[in-house]
Amino acid sequence: MINPCLWFDGQARAAADFYVSTFPDARMLGGSPLVVSVEVGDLKLSLLNGGPQFKINPSISFFYHCGSEAEIDTLWKDLSRGGSVLMPLDTYPFARKYGWVADRFAVNWQLILPSAAPRQKVFPSLMFTQDRCGRAEEALRFYTSVFKDSSVGTLSRYGVGQAPDREGTLNYGEFSLGGQWFTVMDSAQPHQFTFSEGISLFLTCENQDEIDYFWRRLSEGGSEGQCGWLKDRFGVSWQVVPRVLEELMADPARSKRVVEAFLKMKKFDIAKLMKA
């Protein structure tokens, strides 16, 4: 299972409460002072109180497919209050109504009123900027080669005369990993942001074989971090974590020892965690 993890500086609970009160299909899943989990539409989000080190930016945003004009208008009003508009809510060639907004917590939402039923209510969307621009399709092909249960959906390309973007690169691409749909896009505009730990992809693994496989494949050409974090060859941050960790952390008698054990790790070692 893959779900996005959003990095906050003490505002995770406030953000979770805001999303639950704002989106009609959002609900609280639970949490702790460190991590709060919410579900928006059909997507689980983990909200992490990580401190001031990293900031959320538009390189990873969330497509939210609205069911009516009233829904998109209401959400736009609520999300833009105290936030900032990247693309105004309007009619575009690709949608009856669409707008891109960063909410008061800097989380980016692409609200869209689709002309046909979407594959999924909410899509995480990856934008390839700066020196990574032009690699969106490469990333899509790489991710779908890593995950066995994967598929490719719609691919839309820039045409002639759409400078600064290069003809043939992706202005929109869809792919599915384990049933979770994502989108990718290239943008050659002079953006001042790129992928960071501000939003990472949290990958839950069932056993050590899965951890070993995904850690090896996703870190190829990238870099290994501490405590299950890595960056792939495109700079996207992943957390490769065993499912049993949640159970171990919920045990007051073991949680401190478990934390001490995994702070010494890069790739998670389930056997060592179980012995802690």
- pLDDT by residue for the chain (276 residues), tens only, comes to 899 999 999 999 999 999 999 999 999 998 888 899 999 999 999 999 999 999 999 999 999 999 999 999 999 999 999 999 999 999 999 899 999 999 999 999 999 999 888 899 999 999 999 999 999 999 999 999 999 999 999 999 999 999 899 999 999 999 999 999 999 999 999 999 999 999 999 999 999 999 999 999 999 999 999 999 999 999 999 999 999 888 877 777 777 887 888 788 899 999 888 887
Distance between CA atoms of residues 105 and 231, nearest Å? 24
Fold adopted by 57-186:
3.30.720
The tokens describing 21, both together, are 């009160």
SS3 95: strand
Q: Give me the phi and psi of 213, to 5 degrees please.
A: -65, -55
Partners of 47 in the β-ladder:
6, 36
Task: Say what the pLDDT of residue 36 is.
Answer: 95
| Domains 57-186 and 209-275 in one fold | no
DSSP secondary structure letter of residue 233: T
Task: Say what the pLDDT of residue 260 is.
Answer: 85
Minimal CA–CA distance to 267: which of 232, 225, 238? 225
* CB-CB neighbours of 149 under 10 Å: 10
Task: Say what the pLDDT of residue 261 is.
Answer: 80
Distance between CA atoms of residues 127 and 194, nearest Å? 8
Burial 106-141 (b: 16+ CB within 10 A, else e): bbbbbbbbeeeebebbbbbbbbbbbebbbbbbebbe
Report strand pairing: 223-224 vs 229-231. antiparallel
Helix then strand then coil, in percent of the chain rounded to 5, is 25, 35, 40
Minimal CA–CA distance to 114: which of 101, 97, 100? 97
Helices 136-146 and 208-219, interaxial angle, to 10°?
160
Report strand pairing: 60-65 vs 229-231. unpaired
Q: Does domain 209-275 have CATH number 3.10.180.10?
A: yes
Task: Say what the pLDDT of residue 229 is.
Answer: 96
Domain ranges of the chain: 57-186, 209-275
Burial 236-265 (b: 16+ CB within 10 A, else e): bbbbbbbebbeebbeeeebeeebeebbeee
Indicate the residue type of 129: T
In three-state form (DSSP H/G/I as H, E/B as E, the rest C), the secondary structure along 161-193 is CCCCCCCCCEEEEEEEECCEEEEEEECCCCCCC
Helix (H) / strand (E) containing 214: helix 208-219
Minimal CA–CA distance to 225: which of 214, 216, 237? 237
Task: Say what the pLDDT of residue 252 is.
Answer: 79
DSSP secondary structure letter of residue 89: E
The pTM (predicted TM-score) of the whole model is 0.94
